[in-house]
């Protein structure tokens, strides 16, 4: 049996080695390492895949979020609502820009931002909602877009874990994660669902003005070289990463299907076990399973992790500490107990190996090991 890994990027590479190697070699031969034609080609292919009108490639997903917020004309102290159960980047860029992160609780089943909590958190200073499509399933975008419209707010989707997820609105219209809000952000970190072999990210928008402005911000704040209209940043996807992503993009739907197949296997194996809740599903969103995350009930998580490790099965806790409990984000507005669902999730979630190359033999072994260890 193959070695167990949270993500098996090597087998995935071997399956498309020729395309990847050729793409990298073409960039080296062209020496167009920055802003080469591969970057534009990938951008166009990704626009076709996602349906986004504009895609701006940037250096990583965190930059994507930062540039998105920089483009919205916000003032220091403006409030940005984000879930407290997520990766730190979502709140980090808010804090870095002198904006005020307002964290809210999440839903127990989907682990995504709670729309009731968003409604309660809105003040006259609220300007932006940043929903995170956690673990690969879209937040309740029907309600979030409605709230944004009622209160004249921007929506910046953190789709770093959800590229390719499809959201179907109550009116029957379907859109991809990242193309629903005013701006969407994604990451091409190697382990993400569409990962490169280094750092990379992208910003999606259907708004022409925002697209122009974000393109300029990502390029030192200039529309015309050496004419700087904004304080910008330097954030770009390099050509080698673009070539790798362009070779992988045609396989993304197969990769998603492989993850969904593995998730269905896990779901079935753990159904009805009193100690395990499998990921709750939102019927309006497909789930692309960036992570397959269990909620453990009355289980010693450390002990389970250790027993799995004895059998060479890795497992991870995403995320052990909610944002409002992080040292760097201590804030007199928040204390332990304020966000009970996020706090409970932080203490009971466990993510199992989830990637595009899991086979039935491995899945059998993993599920048997989990059930035996409970
Ligand atoms: C990975 C991730 C990011 C950051 O992406 P990087 O490319 O690592 O900067 C932001 N938000 C979420 C939810 C993520 O999973």
What pLDDT, in 10s, does the model give residues 255-276?
Answer: 999 999 999 999 999 998 999 9
pLDDT of residue 276: 98
Asked whether the predicted pLDDT for residue 119 surpasses 90, the reply is yes
90 lines ligand 1 (CB under 6 A): yes
Asked whether the predicted pLDDT for residue 182 surpasses 90, the reply is yes
135 lines ligand 1 (CB under 6 A): no
Pocket test for ligand 1, best of 161, 194, 236 (most atoms within 8 A of CB): 161
Ligand 1 centroid, distance to 87 Cα (angstroms): 7
**Can you tell me the distance from the alpha carbon of 84 to that of 148, in angstroms, rounded to the nearest whole number?**
19
- Which ligand 1 atom lies nearest to the CA of residue 188? 7
**Can you tell me the distance from the alpha carbon of 127 to that of 98, in angstroms, rounded to the nearest whole number?**
13
Is the overall model pTM greater than 0.85, yes or no?
yes
**Can you tell me the distance from the alpha carbon of 165 to that of 108, in angstroms, rounded to the nearest whole number?**
20
Give tens-digit pLDDT for 303-316: 999 999 999 999 99
Ligand 1 centroid, distance to 319 Cα (angstroms): 13
218 lines ligand 1 (CB under 6 A): no
Ligand 1 centroid, distance to 334 Cα (angstroms): 24
pLDDT of residue 310: 97
DSSP 123-155: -TTEEEE--B-GGGB---HHHHHHHHHHHT-EE
Ligand 1 centroid, distance to 265 Cα (angstroms): 27
**Is-contact 83 104, C-beta < 8 A?**
yes
158 lines ligand 1 (CB under 6 A): yes
Asked whether the predicted pLDDT for residue 230 surpasses 90, the reply is no
92 lines ligand 1 (CB under 6 A): no
Ligand 1 centroid, distance to 151 Cα (angstroms): 27
pLDDT of residue 1: 82
Asked whether the predicted pLDDT for residue 16 surpasses 90, the reply is yes
DSSP 61-74: HHHHHHHHHHTTT-
**Is-contact 239 95, C-beta < 8 A?**
no
**Residue among 40, 130, 124, 19 at smallest CA distance from 81:** 130
- Residues with Cβ < 8 Å from 272, sequence gap 6 or more? none
Mean pLDDT of the chain: 97
Asked whether the predicted pLDDT for residue 38 surpasses 90, the reply is yes
**CB count in 10 Å sphere of residue 374:** 16
Asked whether the predicted pLDDT for residue 336 surpasses 90, the reply is yes
Ligand 1 centroid, distance to 202 Cα (angstroms): 11
101 lines ligand 1 (CB under 6 A): no
**Inter-axis angle of helices 89-96 and 61-70, to 10 degrees?**
40
- Which ligand 1 atom lies nearest to the CA of residue 189? 7
- How large is the average pLDDT for residues 67-85? 97
**Residue among 247, 199, 251, 195 at smallest CA distance from 42:** 247
Asked whether the predicted pLDDT for residue 90 surpasses 90, the reply is no
Task: Calculate what percentage of the chain has a pLDDT beyond 70.
Answer: 100
Asked whether the predicted pLDDT for residue 2 surpasses 90, the reply is no
Ligand 1 centroid, distance to 162 Cα (angstroms): 11
Which residues on adjacent β-strands are paired with residue 30?
none
pLDDT of residue 351: 98
Ligand 1 centroid, distance to 275 Cα (angstroms): 30
């Amino acid at each position: 049996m193959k070695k167990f890994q949270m993500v098996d990027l090597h087998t995935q590479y071997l399956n498309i080695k020729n395309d990847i190697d050729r793409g990298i070699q073409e960039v080296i031969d062209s020496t167009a390492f920055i802003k080469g034609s591969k970057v534009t080609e990938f951008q166009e292919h990704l626009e076709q895949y996602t349906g986004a009108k504009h895609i701006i490639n940037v250096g990583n997903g965190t930059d994507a979020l930062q540039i998105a917020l920089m483009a919205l004309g916000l003032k220091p102290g403006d409030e940005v609502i984000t879930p407290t159960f997520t990766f730190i980047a979502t709140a980090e860029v808010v804090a870095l820009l002198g904006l005020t992160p307002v964290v809210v609780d999440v839903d127990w089943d989907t682990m995504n931002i709670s729309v009731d909590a968003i409604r309660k958190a809105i003040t006259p200073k609220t300007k932006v909602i940043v929903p995170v499509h956690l673990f690969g399933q879209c937040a309740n975008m029907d309600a979030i877009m409605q709230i944004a419209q009622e209160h004249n707010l921007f929506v910046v989707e953190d789709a770093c874990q959800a590229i390719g997820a499809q959201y179907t609105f109550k009116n029957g219209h379907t859109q991809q994660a990242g193309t629903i809000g005013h701006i969407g952000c994604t990451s091409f970190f190697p382990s993400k669902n569409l990962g490169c072999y280094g750092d990379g990210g992208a910003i999606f928008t259907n708004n022409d003005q925002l697209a122009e402005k974000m393109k300029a911000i990502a390029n030192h704040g200039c529309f015309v070289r050496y004419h700087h209209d904004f304080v910008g940043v330097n954030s770009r996807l390099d050509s080698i990463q673009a070539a790798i992503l362009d070779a992988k993009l045609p396989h993304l739907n197969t990769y998603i299907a492989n993850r969904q197949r593995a998730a269905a296997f896990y779901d079935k194996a753990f159904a009805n076990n009193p100690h395990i809740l499998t990921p709750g599903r939102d019927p309006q969103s497909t789930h692309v399973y960036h992570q397959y995350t269990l909620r453990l009930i009355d289980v010693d998580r450390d002990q389970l992790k250790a027993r799995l490790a004895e059998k060479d099965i890795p497992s991870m806790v995403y995320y052990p500490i909610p944002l409002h409990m992080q040292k760097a984000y201590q804030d007199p507005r928040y204390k332990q107990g304020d966000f009970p669902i996020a706090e409970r999730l932080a203490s009971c979630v466990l993510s199992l190996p989830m990637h595009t190359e899991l086979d039935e033999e491995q899945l059998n072994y993993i599920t048997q090991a989990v059930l035996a260890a409970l």
